[in-house]
Amino acid sequence: MRRSGLLHAELNRLIAAMGHTDTLVIADVGLPVPPGVTCIDLAVLPGIPSFAQVFDAIHAELAVEAVTFASEIHQHNPALVRLSDQLKSEGTTVEETSHESFKQRCAQARAVVRTGETAPYANVILHAGVTF
């Protein structure tokens, strides 16, 4: 048993197997998962776990060089706008695209991690970086 950090075995295996530029999606409860893409479904109840909880846990374990958000966050999700600004200030490359394009890009992800989040457009694509 791990003493600290991410406890979810499947998430740990996924993060350990990711290579530079591989992508991982953290999704709200409503984002469609493309056929053939692994879905790690963490949703228990509406809002549980939250996008923020899952993002923080994964971000602490995965080297992230870039993120992609749907541009609709500016009209519908101020919390993700704040997260985007925070990541930019930390030196992470932040990209935005339309929600339709975002959904298409999910087809190339190693996996989609589904949260219980119900806030609109609470989705992000994490682009793996390197630790050296």
pLDDT tens sequence across 34-93: 999 999 999 999 999 999 999 999 999 999 999 999 999 999 999 999 999 999 999 999
Of the listed 8, 20, 74, 76, which one is catalytic?
A: 20
- In this structure, is residue 29 part of a structural domain? yes
Q: Is 127 annotated in the active site?
A: no
- CATH code for position 55: 3.40.1650.10
- In this structure, is residue 101 part of a structural domain? yes
Structure tokens at 122: 């609470």
How does the average pLDDT of the chain come out, rounded? Answer: 97
- In this structure, is residue 3 part of a structural domain? no
pLDDT band at 124 (very low <50, low <70, confident <90, very high): very high
Strand order in the sheet with 64-70: 38-41, 111-114, 23-27, 124-128, 64-70, 93-97
Residues in the chain: 132
- In this prediction, residues 106-125 reach a mean pLDDT of 99
Our count of domains for the chain comes to 1
pTM of the model: 0.96
